[in-house]
């Protein structure tokens, strides 16, 4: 007999960034969407994915390359933001499936960029029902006063940092491990599909 799977999309984005203010006319844009699919009922990570996104109103700075490992040449081979959103909806059930990220940055960046680009927000509304801030859940579950970054949370939970920090694909994979840790502690909220 098969169990009914409860799938969760764990998302981590990397965006264009600068050491200081952006150059005139430039804005933060998503350049990588890391996605790990978690089967909450089975308690394991099912798959990991990476969508490279070509920025339209900014370029990848040297600072950004040092942080994320991504280069302008690499993201130029990516898909436009609208196509990345279509992939999330069509291939990964965004809008139907609950999702989580570490903090609110990813949710807000998608909302800002969707509005700026005139693209439908891929995760459906209302966001409170579909999105879970894993950082807030972790902070409460561990009784912490301050919200830790993802790498610090992995240390607190006794989990390894797998891959490169500030790689969207690797960070989503690591955040998924933290969510599974929270689930074993009965601290992960039951999500409403």
Predicted confidence at residue 124, as pLDDT, reads 81
Is 163 contained in some domain?
yes
pLDDT of residue 130: 86
Query: How far is Cα 46 from Cα 140, in angstroms, rounded to an integer?
Result: 26
Domain that holds residue 84: 7-184
**Residue 189: inside a domain:** no
Q: Hey, what are 140's tokens?
A: 């409460």
At residue 37, the 3 state secondary structure works out as strand
Does residue 173 sit within a domain?
yes
Q: Count of CB atoms within 10 A of residue 75's CB?
A: 23
Residue 38 lies in a domain: yes
Look up the CATH number of the domain holding residue 154: 3.30.420.10
Residues 179-190 have pLDDT tens digits of 999 999 999 997
- As a whole number of angstroms, the distance between CA 67 and CA 164 comes to 10
For 52-105, the pLDDT digits (tens) are 999 999 999 999 999 999 999 999 999 999 999 999 999 999 989 999 999 999
Give the Cα separation of 107 and 154 in Å (integer): 21
State mean pLDDT over 16-23.
96
pLDDT in tens, 143-185: 999 999 999 999 999 999 999 999 999 999 999 999 999 999 9
pLDDT, one tens digit per residue, over 90-147 is 999 998 999 999 999 999 999 999 999 999 999 986 555 689 999 999 999 999 999 9
For the chain, the distance separating the N- and C-terminal CA atoms, rounded to the nearest angstrom, is 23
User: In the prediction, which pLDDT does 190 show?
Assistant: 78
Cα-Cα-Cα-Cα torsion 56, 58, 63, 65, nearest 10 degrees, comes to 10
pLDDT over threshold 80, residue 193: no
* Total count of domains within the chain: 1
Q: Would 26 be classed as within a structural domain? A: yes
Whether residue 12 is contained in a domain is answered as yes
């Amino acid at each position: 007999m098969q169990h009914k799977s409860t799938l969760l999309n764990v998302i981590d984005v990397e965006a264009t960034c600068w050491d200081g203010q952006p150059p005139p006319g430039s804005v933060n844009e998503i350049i990588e969407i890391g996605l790990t699919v978690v089967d909450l009922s089975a308690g394991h990570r099912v798959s990991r994915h990476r969508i490279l996104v070509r920025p339209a109103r900014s370029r990848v700075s040297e600072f950004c390359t040092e942080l994320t490992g991504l280069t302008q040449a690499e993201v130029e081979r990516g898909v436009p933001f609208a196509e990345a959103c279509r992939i999330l909806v069509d291939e990964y059930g965004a809008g139907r499936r609950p999702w989580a990220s570490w903090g609110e940055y990813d949710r807000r960046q998608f909302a800002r960029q969707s509005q700026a680009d005139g693209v439908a927000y891929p995760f459906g509304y209302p966001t409170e029902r579909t999105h879970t801030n894993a950082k807030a859940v972790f902070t409460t579950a561990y009784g912490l006063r301050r919200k830790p970054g993802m790498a610090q949370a992995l240390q607190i939970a006794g989990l390894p940092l797998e891959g490169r920090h500030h790689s969207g694909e690797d960070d989503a994979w690591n955040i998924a491990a933290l969510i599974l840790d929270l689930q074993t502690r009965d601290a992960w909220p039951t999500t409403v599909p």
